[in-house]
Structure 1
Amino acid sequence: MGSSSPLVKPASASGQTTSSSTNSPQNRSWWARSWPLALSVALGAAGGTLTWLKHEPHSLDYAVCSANRTIYTVDSDLPNVQCIFVHDTLISDTGDLEDITLRWRDRWWSEIPLARVIHLPWPFNFLEPSPRVINIPPDSIVVPGLTDAHAHVLYYGFKMNLNLEDCTSVDDVLSHLKAYVIAHPDILGDPTRWIEGMGWDQNKWRGAQYPHANDFDREPLLRGRRISLARIDAHASWVSNRVLQLMAPLPEDIDGGVIIRDEHGKPTGIFVDNAMALIPSQPFNETRAMEDFTRATSDALAVGLTSVHDAFSAPEAIHFYKKLSETQQLPLRLYLMGGVNSDDYWGGQIPRLIQHGFGGRLTVRSVKLFADGALGSFGAALFEPYSDNPSTSGTMRLHPEALAKLVKEFSTDGWQVNIHCIGDRANHVVLDIYDDMLANASFSIDALRPRIEHAQILTPDDIKRIGKIPVIPSVQPTHATSDMWYAEDRASPTRVLPLGSDFPVAGINPLLGFYAAVSRLSVTGDSPHGPGGWYPSERLTRAETLKGMTLDAAYASFSEDILGSLSIGKKADFVVLDRDIMTVPIEDILSAKVTATVIDGEVVYGNL
């Protein structure tokens, strides 16, 4: 991409640009042909050698420049610069190319012993080195490496194996499953093999009703097979009658979850939240995990993600990531939230790792707890019953007392606590817990940085309170635009604050979240409130949104000193986009493409 030639004129020995005609390329032509011999004589007379000429800049010494100064640093001191300079894995300088070049030359010459005692007069000064410069195209921009602050890496790869997101009916799901079985001879010939997928959403279907285990038996090729399909939000699963047989006998109730039953009390095959733990699961398999991981990270790098906060990593998954980090197989940065489904303290089951492995790309210093479920599966804990399902007001997955106990135990042990909260009741309970804990002087806010994951629906009073309590609301803008079509049918509009999405629940492209945050529109440009956006007063500015995907995400993972902005001394993680998402019309944001993703100064996707 672009040119690799310097953008500066030759400098004089004093470091100032010269305009002398005697130093013009035409008048220098003889010296350009003869300088090796002349310099050899000069240095020989001084008792020197030519060995210093073999000195070369580090292979990762280069400047990335924008003639239009469209390098967005997310650094309040220098929000836009012409160039950033990369040395090894770090950003070593920022600013105008002329100034960077002069500073680079000073450092370059200082590393050459002979240059400290020999001052080269004209015409030898034109030999002064210049850094390698990469000029991005005029319409392109550079931003810090983008972070997804709440995602599920292995779940993404799992979903892509059998993705049901685009299915518009039960029959559509059955067609997808039939095609999947036919395309996999090992499953076709062995009815004991599990068929697992993800992405169905009954809210997209006519009638918006949950499916039934009997539905699978309508397709002869699926009848009697072991089928388990996770809903799009991963807070409900739909299983076949064969799986129900394997699960029998089922308990009448499950604490923190729901077994959906028909009018006769018979399970329908839908299990919500904690009830999903009853479904038989296959043991963790590293070969399959590697396939899912490779798919997820390849797709992530292609859309400019350089860091991901994985929002529930079981102990076996953490062990898997740890091995990858120690064998240089982590292509991006991972901040893991350890996860174990237990009401008892489990901090001892996971390792504490800070910037571990190759490039310091793996960190484990936080845990994920669940207060409630999701809005789409009627599991979000609300103060009032769902408007379109008055039989429920959602579910608290942990009793408030048990949740408060866990929060205190993990915080005392030095873990950052991240709690999933969707409904207003769940958010209220968690804010009470954090409020009580943070009032205790023995807990350091900066050391703990507690987070609420999603913070989607809050009462007006709790919206005010979350601005006063030093708690980090980790939100995902695409939840607003994905749930807006039914959110007001499920909860009163006076208490809705929908701000979030997490892949694979939503798309992996961070520009989807950027667009949703600044527009409050669907990808087709509409909303329940029209083309002006759904509750447009909730829009973020583009600068706020970029900061939320970079520096704010870094702060939420204790890495603001090394990540999140294009500042001197920080990691050289950055992204080049083919258009300026900070200024183009809103409808053009989603057309932007990543042309290069860079981590630790090295291109991991595309080209510079």
Structure 2
Amino acid sequence: MFLKSIYTLILTAFCLSIWSCTTQENSQKADLIIRGGTIYTLDEGHPKAEAIAVKAGRIIAVGKEADVELLSGDSTEFIDLKGQTLTPGFIEGHGHFMGLGYSELNLNLMDVSSYDELVMRVKAAADKAKPGQWIIGRGWHQSKWTPQPDPMVNGFQTHDKLSAVSPNNPVYLSHASGHAGFANAKAMQLAGVMPLAQESLAEQQVEGGEIIRDEMGNPTGIFNERAMEVITRHIPENSEDRDMEALKLAIEACHKNGITSFHDAGIDGKTIDLYRKAKEEGALKLRMYAMVTGEDTTLVERWFKRGPEIDTSDYLLTIRSVKLHCDGALGSRGAWLLEEYEDRPGHYGMATVPMKYVSYISDKALKNGFQVCSHAIGDRTNHEILNIYENTFHQNSQEAKDSRFRIEHAQHLAPKDIPRFGRLGVIPAMQAIHMSSDRSWAIDRLGEKRIKEGAYMWHDLLETGARLINGTDVPVEPINPIASFYASVSRKTLQGEPEGGYEPEQKMTREQALKTYTLNAAYGAFEEDVKGSIEVGKLADFTVFSKDIMTIPEKEILSVQVMMTIFEGQVVYSTEDKK
């Protein structure tokens, strides 16, 4: 980081010397000049600018249009913003990149509004499939269906209707959260899941997970948390060509939504190899900050031995963090709570990994230069992770000075734990769109008191000095950052409800919301010296919006479109190209 700062100072001095000259050599001219709109820099000293000059993928000047145009030459290209608004390139602070790509290839069930509609989608796929071919999908959420299925067991539908339309094909459909799965009879048959009358309960118990059964002991088709592996281990692996196709589709989706960087929350060795290949072939037109999955202990130990892989040349692929999946989701009632679920008495959710393992990884990561990013949704999980982090920092005080350990989601917190984020320097990587999508039914899970005192506590966390990061958790939610920005500042559903927003005292200001998608997200990846704001020496990654998201009326925010995405000084997406 010290070397980056020196580089920035040298480049700044170099650019200032150019600026003072009236005649420059052609090699000193800008490749690109952007002007003609509102530019928000996120540079506290100069929050707005009229123009930007770019050379070799870096920003070489920011300021008044007349001054920046002194760097123009015969080969300089110009972009006229035509009154539109430009910001630093948006950063997806927590998502699942290959999940985004495969949502384009598999059944996308995000918009399914009822169980019957889901069944018809699967029937259409089964009618086209060969016998024995797996049908894979993701995106259903039973709490958002109208009407609710009948019957339901522990808050979920049963497989009977699904199995009836797909007798010859195994079907596996991931919950929108990714924390539960829904299988048909054919898939359960292949996995050896039987009624309890034909097997012992011990044979079907899964540590950190749950196979939901009806009162007769028959499996309902729902597999919660780690129990999903009972089915997923039987699904054939995707080919390398199909993986590459999904990767390219994910990049296209990011560009279309103004995303220039992506924090990929938990990947395996195969995916790391895919990203490296894409980078070598010039296909990785996105800056990837990848977290090694903690579920593969062998892979994690191998990375601890070799050390972080920090890309300081073009910042396309950096691997310096470990993702730990520590509890489930609220929608599947897998989030680990301090008190029982309001709508399932006696049930507290579950830890999906032993806390001793979290402690071990946190200690070893800190000693080997790695950041830890722990998935924690329930208040019990957040409490336990903060305890572990605090103890680890205390025992490794030197290494902990700039550790930037994160808690992914941090959705539901015990009030006493909120100040600890700022005090410990722990980063809450939250997704504002989850509040918009979940708040209307989350109160049924937690009750009013817990919702008001500890759910989606953005303002209170920011007040502690914590650097809050935003995102969508794609493919749990669509990758559209405008929706998450709107949720951040309105605390409303995407239908604009309720009036005034849920718990409006927790709203972010627009400046805070913009930082969560830019400078704060860059900080969460140790990259604030090279991106996240528009300053001389930083990477030329920008997002152009159709309207000024910082000043337009709140009700207009959802109508804003991404007009252009610029990556390393090159236009990689433009609505003009779509006409």
| 1:212 and 2:158 are equivalent in the alignment | yes
- 1:296 equivalent among 250, 268, 273: 250
Q: Indicate whether 1:257 and 2:209 are aligned.
A: yes
Secondary structure, counterpart of 1:433 in structure 2:
helix
* Contact persistence 2:30–2:76 (CA under 8 A): no
Shift of 1:62: 2.4
1:596 maps to 2:567: no
Give 1:237's aligned amino acid. G
Partner of 2:315: 360
Partner in structure 2 of residue 63 of structure 1: 33
Mapped partners of 2:240, 2:303: distance in 1: 19
Answer yes or no: is the 8 Å Cα contact 1:352–1:364 preserved in 2. no
Task: For residues 230-264 of structure 1, give each alpha carbon's deviation from its aligned partner in whole angstroms, at most 9, with x where no partner exists.
Answer: 00101000111111112225733111111111112
Q: Partners of 1:343 and 1:263 in 2: how far apart?
A: 37
| Alignment correspondent of 1:169 | 114
How far apart are 1:422 and its partner, in Å? 0.2
SS in 1 for 2:395: coil
Taking structure 1 as reference, are residues 385 and 344 closer, same or farther at Cα in structure 2, changes over 3 Å only?
farther
Question: Which residue is equivalent to 2:479?
Answer: 508
Q: Deviations over 1:195-254 (max 9, x none)?
A: 0000111102233641222222332xx114211110010100011111111222573311
Residues 130 and 405 of structure 1: is their aligned pair in 2 closer, same or farther, counting only changes over 3 Å? closer
Structure 2 residue 220 is the aligned partner of structure 1 residue 268: yes
Match of 1:346, SS state, is helix
Secondary structure of the 1:546 match is: helix
User: Are residues 262 and 296 of structure 1, via their aligned partners in 2, closer, same or farther at CA, if it must alter by over 3 Å?
Assistant: same
Partner of 1:94: 62
Name the CA shift for 1:15/1:466 in 2 (closer, same or farther; >3 Å).
closer
- Distance apart, 1:306 and its partner CA: 0.2
Q: Select which of 180, 191, 195 maps to 2:135.
A: 195
Aligned equivalents of 2:119 and 2:380: distance in 1?
37
Structure 1 counterpart of 2:114, one-letter code:
S
- For 1:599 and 1:166, locate their aligned partners in 2 and report how far apart those are by CA, in whole Å: 31
Distance in 1, matches of 2:307 and 2:298, equals 19
Q: Deviations over 1:75-111 (max 9, x none)?
A: 1111001111111110001111222344x38xx8xxx
Q: Distance in 2 between matches of 1:544 and 1:66?
A: 25
**In the comparison of the two structures, how many residue pairs are matched?**
523
The offset of 1:281, in angstroms, is 2.6
Mapping of residues 166-565 of structure 1, within 5 Å = 166-182=111-127, 184=128, 187=129, 190-205=130-145, 206-207=147-148, 209-219=155-165, 222-248=166-192, 251-279=203-231, 280-342=234-296, 346-348=300-302, 354-356=309-311, 359-491=314-446, 492-498=450-456, 501-526=472-497, 530-565=498-533
* Unpaired segments ≥5 residues, structure 2: 1-19, 150-154, 195-202, 459-470
Alignment of 1:48-197 (within 5 A): 56=26, 61-66=31-36, 70-102=38-70, 104=71, 133-138=78-83, 140-160=84-104, 161-182=106-127, 184=128, 187=129, 190-197=130-137
Query: For residue 497 of structure 1, what is the amino acid of its counterpart?
Result: A
CA distance in structure 1 between the aligned counterparts of 2:573 and 2:313, rounded to whole angstroms: 18
- The CA deviation string for residues 539-585 of structure 1, in whole angstroms up to 9 with x for no partner, is 10111111110011001001111111100000000111111011001
Deviations 1:101-146 (A, max 9, x none): 44x38xx8xxxxxxxxxxxxxxxxxxxx7965433212x1110000
Letter in 2 for 1:89: G
- 1: distance between equivalents of 2:32 and 2:141? 48
SS across alignment from 1:484: helix
Letter in 2 for 1:423: G
> Is the CA contact (8 Å cut-off) linking 1:237 and 1:272 kept in structure 2?
yes
The code of the aligned residue for 2:247 comes to F
Give the percent of matched residue pairs that are identical in Structure 1 and Structure 2. 36
Any conservation in 2 of the 1:459–1:494 contact (CA below 8 Å)? Answer: no
Shift of 1:486: 1.2
TM-score of the aligned structures, taking structure 2 as reference length: 0.85
Bigger mean CA offset, 348-357 vs 545-554:
348-357
Gaps of 5+ in 1: 1-13, 17-51, 109-128
* Secondary structure at 1:398 match in 2: coil
**Is residue 159–residue 184 contact of structure 2 (8 Å, CA) maintained in 1?**
yes
The answer as to whether partners of 2:98 and 2:250 remain within 8 angstroms in 1 is yes
The residue identity in structure 2 corresponding to 1:63 is I
User: TM (normalized to structure 1)?
Assistant: 0.81
Distance 1:513 1:446 in 2: 31
Distance across 1 between alignment mates of 2:534 and 2:495: 33
Q: Distance in 2 between matches of 1:249 and 1:202?
A: 23
Q: Which amino acid in the other structure matches residue 289 of structure 1?
A: D
CA 1:218–1:137: 2 relative to 1, 3 Å:
same
Structure 2 CA distance, aligned partners of 1:514 and 1:494?
Answer: 21
Report the secondary structure of 2:436's partner residue. helix
For the 8 Å contact 2:308–2:370, the answer to whether it is kept is no
Give the whole-Å Cα distance in 1 for the aligned partners of 2:315 and 2:93. Answer: 18
Q: Deviations over 1:31-56 (max 9, x none)?
A: xxxxxxxxxxxxxxxxxxxxx99x75
Deviation at residue 442 of structure 1 after TM alignment: 4.1
The answer (yes or no) to whether the contact 2:452–2:503 under 8 Å persists in 1 is: no
Contact 1:147 1:550 in 2 (8 A): yes
Q: CA deviation at 1:489?
A: 1.3
| Paired residue secondary structure (1:485) | helix
Q: Which amino acid letter does the alignment assign opposite residue 150 of structure 1? A: H
Farther-moved stretch of structure 1 (559-568 vs 58-67): 58-67
Amino acid at match of 1:304: G
- Kindly provide the CA deviation profile for residues 275-296 of structure 1, in whole angstroms up to 9, marking residues without a partner as x: 1112123224211112221221
Cα shift at 1:371: 1.3
Partners of 1:75 and 1:207 lie apart in 2 by 49
What is the CA-CA distance between 1:154 and the residue it aligns to?
A: 0.9
Counterpart for residue 462 of structure 2: none
2-structure distance, mates of 1:135, 1:295: 28
Partner of residue 551, structure 2: 583
Q: Which piece of structure 1 moves more, 347-356 or 540-549?
A: 347-356
Summarize the Cα distance change of 1:130–1:307 in structure 2 as closer, same or farther, 3 Å threshold: closer
Q: 1:509 deviation in Å?
A: 0.8
- Cα shift at 1:447: 4.2
Partner of 1:38: none
Work out the CA distance in 2 between the residues paired with 1:571 and 1:266: 56
Equivalent residues of 1:460, 1:494 under 8 A apart: no
**Contact preservation (8 Å) 1:60, 1:601:** no
For 1:369 and 1:193, the matched residues in 2 are separated by 32
Distance in 1 between residues matched to 2:373 and 2:432, nearest whole Å: 18
Seen in structure 2, the aligned counterparts of structure 1 residues 207 and 389 have a Cα distance that, compared at 3 Å, is farther
Report the CA distance between 1:444 and its aligned residue: 2.6
Distance 1:282 1:446, change over 3 A: farther
> CA separation in 2, counterparts of 1:225 and 1:85?
56
Matched residues in 1 for 2:567 and 2:76: separation? Answer: 20
Q: Report the Cα offset of residue 516 of structure 1.
A: 0.5
